[in-house]
Amino acid sequence: GSIGDIGIIEIAAGGNLDVRRAVSANPFGPNDGDISIVVEGGSLTILGTGDGVEGRSVELTAEDDLLVNEEVVGLFGDVDLTAGSDVGDLLDITADVTAGGNMSLTGAGDPISIGAVTLTAGLDVDVNDDVVLDGSATVISEDGDVTFADDVSDDGTGNSLTVEALFGTVDFVDTIGVDVNPVNGLTVTALDIELGGNVESDDAVTLTGDVLLDTTAVTITTSDDNVTINGDTSGDQDFTITAGT
């Protein structure tokens, strides 16, 4: 239920926390509330049996796993989701996440797992570690940039990635579909698209926007599917496309 204008929950070391009911900071009251849930020494699960977490801004942090199984909304501020940094620690997102401001996803243990969800931010989206898709995901910045700091791959079940930043840049700092399995289709729409490594896809690749070859030679490979680039391509790096007709 409602926990007032500002909701802060801190769990000391040695325990896990399951959020089983809706957590709201009364965002339509006279004082918009921030929500911070920090689990020190355990895991945090936003359960699918609840109604999610909603506040002006939302910070969810776990020393171990952070499992987002119900919607998270930061109506006017930032959303920061952070899992632990040890091997085996997992940030797993299986529900939509919305931020009125910036969105930051950090999972330095195992790769961040993103399901068939939509992640939307009013400003920037920063995905700070490698990603494995276990559903076809959409990532949207309404008025900022989207940055993937590491590889984005599929889990092998045939999932696609759609990214949109109509007024900004989509920056793939590293590869796409290389570390684990090729993505099953890639669609990117932005003013500028930066590619920092090779792209492997088992379906079509469509890039709408000016493409910059960032720091290294880039090869886009599909399994006999089309590659479409609607925009200029620039950079001092070699650019190779291996695709169908």
> At residue 59, does pLDDT exceed 50?
yes
pLDDT tens by residue, 108-124: 889 999 999 999 999 99
Question: For residue 56, what pLDDT is reported?
Answer: 87
pLDDT tens by residue, 145-190: 999 999 999 999 999 999 999 999 999 999 999 999 999 999 999 9
> At residue 67, does pLDDT exceed 90?
yes
Band of the pLDDT at 102, cuts 50, 70, 90? very high
Question: For residue 12, what pLDDT is reported?
Answer: 59
| CA distance linking residue 203 with residue 183, whole number of Å | 8
Question: For residue 216, what pLDDT is reported?
Answer: 86
Q: Which residue has the tokens 């926390």?
A: 17
> At residue 4, does pLDDT exceed 60?
no
| CA distance linking residue 160 with residue 70, whole number of Å | 21
Q: Which of 125, 113, 119 is nearest to 153 (CA)?
A: 113
Higher pLDDT, 26 or 229: 229
List Cβ neighbours of 28 (8 Å cut-off, separation of 6 or more): none
- SS3 for 7-75 is EEEEECCCCCEEECCCEECCCCCCCCCEEEEEECCCCEEECCCCCCEEECEEEEEECCCEEECCCEEEC
User: Is 225 strand, coil or helix?
Assistant: coil
| CA distance linking residue 7 with residue 100, whole number of Å | 18
Band of the pLDDT at 48, cuts 50, 70, 90? low
Is the sign of the CA dihedral 150, 36, 86, 137 positive or negative?
negative
Measured CA angle at 124 (ends 33, 117), to 5 deg: 80
**Which of 7-11, 162-166, 239-243 comes out lowest in average pLDDT?**
7-11
| CA distance linking residue 14 with residue 237, whole number of Å | 50
Q: Which of 119, 120, 98, 110 is nearest to 153 (CA)?
A: 110
pLDDT tens by residue, 210-232: 999 978 899 999 988 899 999 99
> At residue 234, does pLDDT exceed 70?
yes
Of 11-15, 63-67, 82-86, 168-172, highest mean pLDDT: 168-172
**Average of per-residue pLDDT across 54-74:** 92
How many angstroms separate the first and last alpha carbons of the chain? 55
> At residue 10, does pLDDT exceed 80?
no
Band of the pLDDT at 2, cuts 50, 70, 90? very low
Mean pLDDT of the chain: 89
> At residue 26, does pLDDT exceed 50?
yes
Question: For residue 245, what pLDDT is reported?
Answer: 52
List Cβ neighbours of 48 (8 Å cut-off, separation of 6 or more): 69, 70, 94, 95
C-alpha 43, offset from chain centre? 20
Neighbours of 31 (CB within 10 A): 11
**Average of per-residue pLDDT across 23-33:** 58
